[in-house]
C-alpha cells in the first residue's frame, strides 16, 4: 500500500499547491510530475476517497465537470475565465447578501461565481 499512499500524496499536493479548483485531468498532469506511473482511474479513485475523508471538496460550476479544491479554506468564491476555462479562487466576498432575501426568508449560505477573462486572456 506504500505505492498507493505516495500516489495519494501526489494528488493531495497537486490540489494544495494549485490554490485553485482543478479538473481531474489537471490534477492527473500535475501529480504525474511526482508520481509518473499515476493513471487517471487512480486519480478518480483517490478524489473519491479524499472527499470521503473530508480533505477536499467538489466545486461545481454550472455546465462544467466537477473540479476539486482543499476543504479547509476560509470563505471564498470563484472566478471563471470564459476564454481558457481556468477557475481561480477569490477570497473576497460582497457580504450582506442576506439583505437580498425576500421578506420572511432566512438565507443560510450563498455561492457566487464571477465570469470574465483571466489576466493572460484579458491581455490578448
Ligand atoms: Zn484565461
Ligand atoms: Zn461570500
pLDDT tens for residues 73-116?
Answer: 999 999 999 999 999 999 999 988 999 999 999 999 999 999 99
- Give the residue, 14 or 4, on which the prediction is more confident: 14
Q: How far is the CA of 2 from the centre of ligand 1 (A)?
A: 38
Containing structural domain, residue 109 = 77-123
51 and 83 fall within a common domain: no
11 and 46 fall within a common domain: yes
The ligand minimizing its distance to the Cα of 76 is 2
pLDDT at residue 64 tops 70: yes
Give kind and range of the element (H or E) at residue 5.
helix 2-18
Query: Beta 56-59 vs 67-70: how paired, if at all?
Result: antiparallel
65 and 82 fall within a common domain: no
Q: How far is the CA of 124 from the centre of ligand 1 (A)?
A: 10
The ligand minimizing its distance to the Cα of 75 is 2
Residue 33 — φ and ψ, nearest 5°? -65, -30
Cβ neighbours for 50, distance < 8 A, ≥ 6 positions apart: 8, 11, 12, 56, 68
The ligand minimizing its distance to the Cα of 112 is 2
CATH of the domain at 19: 1.10.10.10
101 and 83 fall within a common domain: yes
Q: How far is the CA of 85 from the centre of ligand 1 (A)?
A: 6
Amino acid at each position: 500500500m506504500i505505492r498507493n499512499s505516495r500516489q495519494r500524496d501526489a494528488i493531495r499536493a497537486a490540489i494544495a499547491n494549485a490554490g485553485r479548483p482543478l479538473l481531474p485531468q489537471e490534477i492527473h498532469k500535475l501529480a504525474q510530475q511526482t508520481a509518473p506511473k499515476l493513471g487517471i482511474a487512480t486519480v478518480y479513485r483517490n478524489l473519491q476517497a479524499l472527499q470521503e475523508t473530508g480533505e477536499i471538496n467538489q466545486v461545481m460550476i454550472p455546465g462544467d465537470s466537477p473540479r476539486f479544491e482543499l476543504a479547509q479554506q476560509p470563505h471564498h468564491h470563484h472566478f471563471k475565465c470564459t476564454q481558457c476555462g481556468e477557475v481561480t479562487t477569490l477570497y473576497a466576498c460582497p457580504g450582506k447578501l442576506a439583505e437580498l432575501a425576500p421578506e420572511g426568508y432566512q438565507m443560510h449560505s450563498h455561492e457566487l461565481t464571477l465570469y470574465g477573462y483571466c489576466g493572460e486572456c484579458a491581455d490578448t
